[in-house]
Amino acid sequence: MSPEVGQILVAVALFLGSDAIRIDTISHGHQSRRSGGTDVFSSPFLAEHRVTNITTQIGTHAYLPCKARQLANKSVSWVRVRDDHILTVDRTVFIADDRFQSFYVEGTGMWTLQLKYVQARDAGIYECQVSTEPKVSARVHLHVVVPRTELDGEPNRYVKAGSKVIIRCVVRGALEPPAYVFWYFGLEQIFTDNRYGWTMQTDSESETHNTIASLIIPSARKRDAGNYTCNPSNSDAVTVLLHVINVEYSASAVKSAASGHGSVQSEIVAIIVAALVHIQT
Ligand SMILES: *[C@@H]1O[C@H](CO)[C@@H](O)[C@H](O)[C@H]1NC(C)=O
Ligand SMILES: *[C@@H]1O[C@H](CO)[C@@H](O)[C@H](O)[C@H]1NC(C)=O
Ligand SMILES: *[C@@H]1O[C@H](CO)[C@@H](O)[C@H](O)[C@H]1NC(C)=O
């Protein structure tokens, strides 16, 4: 199998419905010029005169289908509607952006525009045109999903020395979970076999496709204070600054803040305690 055929088979497979790409079709307003004449079966037409919605995730490859039949030797072009830029004519690429490519597999009648490493600005309408007179065309609306990373809790965390700390981040709005989530302490990556006994866990909810990444510090020490960064493969990084407080007095106030879900009030108390500790030392 040639790489090109392999790619198109992947494209067709994706088109037929994976989780990563969502395809919705609706009937298109205007009808084709297939007004009952003798040429109905000899002139080119697009199999489905509809707007197809394709939803894809930033950074992945998008496959825009154009099912053209009875092409004879007519050309099939892909046009970006936003700026009327011709992207491809048959297999020839007409844009100075090597992320675009057009594929056809004999017998399937399917011309597919491949767009690699989709970016947010690629979102919009693409039109597939067959070079007949009058021209026939079909549109594909490409939607680009950009996942976001949220920190669970405040960007400053105050914890008591010796307490168990769980730092969590959530990746939301992704079509597929991140391939990996890296954690950093300062600039240093945290590995699973680290000497501190810290553990990492990543759970994806199949329903929402949200991914929760957790870093577990069994017993926080003073030297564990610092910036912890959660860096998912498909989304922005978020950082939490951990403060480890070494106090015996006012323990109750600190304890409530250290639980991670403390109220704003207890956070403020913790900040005051931290400040007092700072002045004392
Ligand atoms: C396709 O996308 C458009 C624009 O966002 C939307 O109005 C329409 O409802 C979508 N169609 C389907 C079938 O999801
Ligand atoms: C291909 O195109 C040429 C002119 O461009 C035309 O004469 C010929 O009939 C076409 N062939 C088919 C099979 O439609
Ligand atoms: C944590 O990150 C912030 C923002 O980048 C930086 O200003 C601060 O110095 C860092 N603190 C530590 C302890 O690394």
Predicted confidence at residue 275, as pLDDT, reads 54
Q: Does 141 sit in the ligand 1 pocket, CB within 6 Å?
A: yes
Ligand closest to 140 (CA) is 1
Among the CATH numbers 1.10.274.10, 3.30.200.20, 2.60.40.10, 1.10.10.10, which is that of 148-245?
2.60.40.10
**Torsion angle, alpha carbons of 171, 176, 180, 181, to 10:** 0
Predicted confidence at residue 135, as pLDDT, reads 76
**Torsion angle, alpha carbons of 86, 87, 92, 97, to 10:** 130
Closest CA to 59 of 171, 176, 150: 176
Residue 195: count of CB within 10 angstroms of its CB: 6
Span from the CA of 239 to the centroid of ligand 3 (angstroms): 9
| Domains 44-145 and 148-245 agree in fold | yes
Ligand closest to 26 (CA) is 1
Residue 226: enclosing H or E segment and its boundaries? strand 226-232
Give the chain's largest Cα–Cα span. Answer: 95
Q: Does 53 sit in the ligand 1 pocket, CB within 6 Å?
A: yes
Predicted confidence at residue 104, as pLDDT, reads 84
Which protein residue's CA is at the shortest distance from atom 2 of ligand 2?
73
Predicted confidence at residue 271, as pLDDT, reads 55
Show me where the domains of the chain are located. Answer: 44-145, 148-245
CATH topology of domain 44-145: Immunoglobulin-like (2.60.40)
Mutate to test the pocket of ligand 2, among 43, 73, 74 (most ligand atoms within 8 A of CB): 73
Residue 141: enclosing H or E segment and its boundaries? strand 136-145
Q: Does 184 sit in the ligand 3 pocket, CB within 6 Å?
A: no
Predicted confidence at residue 15, as pLDDT, reads 40
Predicted confidence at residue 13, as pLDDT, reads 40
Two tokens, residue 149: 């990373």
Q: Label the pairing between strands 211-217 and 110-115.
A: unpaired
**Contact (CB, 8 A) for 231 and 180:** no
Predicted confidence at residue 49, as pLDDT, reads 53
Q: Does 2 sit in the ligand 2 pocket, CB within 6 Å?
A: no
Residue 1: count of CB within 10 angstroms of its CB: 7
Q: Does 188 sit in the ligand 3 pocket, CB within 6 Å?
A: no
pTM: 0.62
Q: What's 153's DSSP letter?
A: S
Run means of pLDDT, 10 residues per run, the chain, 281 residues: 44 38 38 35 51 90 80 84 95 96 80 94 94 83 95 95 96 92 96 88 89 96 96 95 80 50 52 52 45
Cα–Cα distance list, 253 to 127, 158, 230, 241, 257 (Å): 62, 11, 28, 19, 7
Predicted confidence at residue 134, as pLDDT, reads 78
Predicted confidence at residue 40, as pLDDT, reads 37
